[in-house]
Amino acid sequence: MRGNTLYIVVPCYNEEEVLPETARRLGDKLRTLMSAGKISPQSRVLFVNDGSKDKTWEVITRLHRENHLLCGADLSRNRGHQNALLAGLMTAKDWADMVISMDADLQDDVDAADAMVDKYLAGADIVYGVRSSRKTDTFFKRTTAEAFYRMMDLLGAETVFNHADYRLMSKRALEGLAQFKEVNLFLRGIVPMIGYPCDTVEYERGERFAGESKYPLKKMVSFALEGVTSLSTKPLRMITGLGFLVFFISLVMIVYNVVRWATGNTVAGWASLACSVWFIGGLILLSLGVIGEYLGKLYLESKGRPRFLIRQVLDGEAGEDRE
């Protein structure tokens, strides 16, 4: 029989508006699962404050005092969504048999947790929450999101299509995740590398309950580049391919120009020359940029800096805390 202590990890950045409702719904979900005998009474919700600038931590502290099912971890400063999520997973790993990660905005269907727990109890170590459709998204959001996943796969970063960070992981899977030491985190690509039996649960994603989205288009593009350069060297191989292609084209142009010179048809072509110079120059700068991105990541990895530091943890019965 597998252990059934569940922790729900929720990274939070400036989420004071939505937290009371999130806490209410997740608390109700834990009590429902406990009543059904699927999870143990030691199960908890762990909110991770990622250096918020508003009163998020004060709200988490108050919620913890009012309800012992609600816990908190306060990072020393803002470290970004992926590091905050990892901090919560590694903290919960010591107390839980399974951990569900989800965002605080209540767009992920809380009721999908029931099916995730069922699949865990049936033997799955990782259960991915996958969106069944994107009907609630605008055309622009739907198009860019789907392009994001396809671009990731095209560039060699294998992910689960239409899956974000709503997933269940067993203690064994979390211990496997802890062995991945890279500083540049892209959990959507790292988790599938762990292996172990996995499954999926489909759900409908709703509207954000309150507050503003933390992933506008600019941040999504940056997130995609982070994922690709963290997980794949395919862009470097593409640069090599482009180099061979340009070299082949240059040979063809040399032959073409020699033939024209031999037949006395040489004509000054400033337009074609200018276009060639700009094309080659742009290609060189783009290649240097991609290479520089990889070198920058190597530099950060070589530092071996901690991915997060936790200032305080609230856990256990109401009022208990650890510095």
For the packed helices 270-303 and 217-231, what is the interaxial angle rounded to 10 degrees?
Answer: 70
Clarify whether residues 119 and 242 are in a common domain: no
CB 92 within 8 A of CB 9: yes
Higher pLDDT: 219 or 204? It is: 204
Q: Distance between CA 132 and CA 102 in Å, rounded?
A: 17
Clarify whether residues 245 and 96 are in a common domain: no
Clarify whether residues 207 and 267 are in a common domain: no
Residue by residue, DSSP assigns 55-91 as SHHHHHHHHHHH-TTEEEEEESS---HHHHHHHHHHH
Clarify whether residues 253 and 119 are in a common domain: no
The answer, yes or no, to whether residue 111 has pLDDT greater than 70, is: yes
| Residue at 60 is within a domain | yes
Amino acid, res. 128:
Y
Residue by residue, DSSP assigns 184-196 as S--HHHHHHHH-S
| Residue at 228 is within a domain | no
| Residue at 90 is within a domain | yes
Clarify whether residues 277 and 175 are in a common domain: no
Clarify whether residues 247 and 193 are in a common domain: no
| Residue at 186 is within a domain | yes
Reported as a single tens digit per residue, the pLDDT across 219-243 is 666 666 666 666 666 777 777 777 7
| Residue at 154 is within a domain | no
- Residue 176: the pLDDT is 93
**Site of tokens 């996995």:** 198
Mean pLDDT of 182-202: 85
- Dihedral through CA 272, CA 274, CA 280, CA 283, nearest 10? -110
| Residue at 1 is within a domain | no
> Chain-wide mean pLDDT for the chain?
80
Clarify whether residues 33 and 119 are in a common domain: yes
CATH code of the domain containing 51: 3.90.550.10
| Residue at 89 is within a domain | yes
Q: Which two tokens stand for residue 117?
A: 């727990």
Q: How does DSSP classify residue 294?
A: H
The answer, yes or no, to whether residue 29 has pLDDT greater than 60, is: yes
Look at the chain and report how many structural domains it folds into: 2
Segments forming the whole domain that contains residue 91: 6-138+162-216+306-322
Closest to 81 (Cα-Cα) out of 228, 213, 217: 213
Higher pLDDT: 111 or 280? It is: 111
Q: Which two tokens stand for residue 161?
A: 């299509």
Residue 264 CB partners (closer than 8 Å, separation 6+): none
Reported as a single tens digit per residue, the pLDDT across 262-274 is 776 655 665 566 5
Clarify whether residues 123 and 250 are in a common domain: no
